[in-house]
Amino acid sequence: MLKSAAVLWIIVAGWCAIPVGMATDLEALRLPEGFHISVYADHVRDARELALGDHGTVFVGSMNAGVVYALTDTDHDGRAEKVTVVARHLQLPSGIAFARGNLYIATVHEILQLPAIESRLDHPPAPMLVADRLPYRDGDHSWHFLGVGPDGHLYVSIGAPCNACEVGTDFGKLIRMNLDGSGREDVAYGIRNSVGFTWQPGTGSLWFTDNGRDLLGDDAPNDELDRVDHPGQHFGFPYCHQGDLPDPVLGAGHPCSRYTPPVLKLGAHVAALGLRFYTGKHWPPAYRGGLLIAEHGSWNRTEKSGYRVMLVSFKDGTPTAYTPLIDGFQRDEHVYGRPADVLELADGSVLVSDDFAGKVYRITYQMP
């Protein structure tokens, strides 16, 4: 286990002093017996969505850092010895996806491609434009999450530009397109801000997290875990939250029964982001097939919630439990880390990005 030898303080104009690097006290984090956490890479400012290349390169998107990273562990010791910036000067390139040897990057307005990137990490190519004119309105949730589905299409989240407002069919949705940017079409509506989606092995069904609106109190509404069963579903925003809570302003005339309810309520303001099904056999059977969810943590709740990595357990396709895999990024109302995404590697370990500490962690299991 590693401990921070010093604390670096950064002072941002208009904000209080923020301690950076404290999350490296990994011994304070709580994991189930047999699980271990280590630093896979540090100096990864604003680490957000994770994607895995064909040859083991781990790519990392960012927010205000405006860059995309490539992490390489050439000696296979469980720690990336090299962090390379493969794209820079981008606007909120949080969302990334890898397919057919190419890396796809979502900025606020565009989707870009870095072709054949794994063979060009030291001399990355200039990004190529795949799609432009992504829906944009000055406001909230203008970053995107990306993923390539089993159908070979590139999926993109389009957040609502507000806390709660009418969005029509331009915002608050998931869209998809061909990998060359053609054939753009809507997939699902009524989604306030999804910063994580994935496909369930075996069924191919699309699951996503959705962040609930603010300013309805500490305990409502819940963030959601949702599943798309067919194109065109509407999940309620801005009229109905968490499947059964009408919006106090916009809900009149829009009963919750019209909309698809969540599969699971995740808790209020936990900021559930990236998620992946665990498909490996290196963890105990109880974890196999489970869904890992990174909870980024609340920002305006009286007592903080989230700040952990959770596991959804299933029986016959139905969630049966929602339990912590990693807890302790928030202790006594002090924040030490904010999980943003999870990613399983070929060896069965799982990476977790932390945009607060600027690190990527690695979770392994060894029988006690």
Would you place residue 6 in the very low, low, confident or very high pLDDT band (cuts 50, 70, 90)?
very low
For residue 25, what pLDDT band results from cuts at 50, 70 and 90?
Answer: confident
pLDDT at 15 over 90: no
pLDDT class of 275 with cuts at 50, 70, 90: very high
Residue 334 carries which side chain, given as an amino acid letter? H
| pLDDT of the residue at 139 | 81
pLDDT of residue 11: 29
What's the total number of domains in the chain?
1
Rounded to whole angstroms, the Cα distance separating 281 from 287 reads 9
Tell me whether residue 189 is in a domain: yes
Distance in angstroms (rounded) separating the CA atoms of residues 188 and 273 = 18
Average pLDDT of the chain is: 93
Burial class from Cβ neighbours inside 10 Å (0-12, 13-18, 19+) for residue 25 reads middle
Residue given tokens 């493969």 in the structure block: 86
Closest CA to 294 of 317, 321, 325: 325
Predicted pLDDT at 367: 87
Rounded to a whole number of angstroms, the CA Rg of the chain reads 19
Q: For residue 148, what are the domain limits?
A: 8-365
Q: pLDDT value at position 24?
A: 53
Asked if residue 361 is part of any domain, the answer here is yes
Instruction: Give me the pLDDT at residue 3, please.
Output: 34
**Domain membership flag for residue 1:** no
Q: Is the pLDDT of residue 4 over 60?
A: no
In a domain, 3, yes or no: no
Give the mean pLDDT of 28-44: 97
Q: Of 332, 329, 333, nearest to 353 (Cα)?
A: 329
3 state DSSP class of 258? helix
Q: How far apart are CA 174 and CA 152, in angstroms?
A: 15
Tell me the average pLDDT across 281-288: 95
Closest CA to 202 of 347, 317, 351, 285: 317
CB of 228 closer than 8 Å to CB of 206: yes
Distance CA 84, CA 123 (A): 10
Per-residue pLDDT tens over the stretch 136-195: 988 899 999 999 999 999 999 999 999 999 999 999 999 999 999 999 999 999 999 999
d(CA 167, CA 151): 28
Q: Is residue 30 part of a domain?
A: yes
Q: How far apart are CA 99 and CA 141, in angstroms?
A: 25
CA distances 358 to 6, 238, 298, Å, are 15, 33, 18
Confidence of residue 368 (pLDDT cuts 50, 70, 90): confident
pTM (predicted TM-score):
0.93
The model's pLDDT over 58-113, given as tens digits with 9 standing for 90+, comes to 999 999 999 999 999 999 999 999 999 999 999 999 999 999 999 999 999 999 99
Structure tokens at 271: 């900021």
Per-residue confidence (pLDDT) for residue 276, from 0 to 100: 98
In a domain, residue 122? The reply is yes
In a domain, 2, yes or no: no
* 305 has a pLDDT exceeding 60: yes
Where residue 85 sits, what CATH number does that domain have? 2.120.10.30
Q: Is the pLDDT of residue 246 over 50?
A: yes
- Looking at residues 22-36, what average pLDDT do you find? 85
Q: Is residue 291 part of a domain?
A: yes
Nearest C-alpha neighbor of 305 from the set 273, 271, 281? 271
Q: Calculate the CA 16 to chain-centre distance.
A: 26
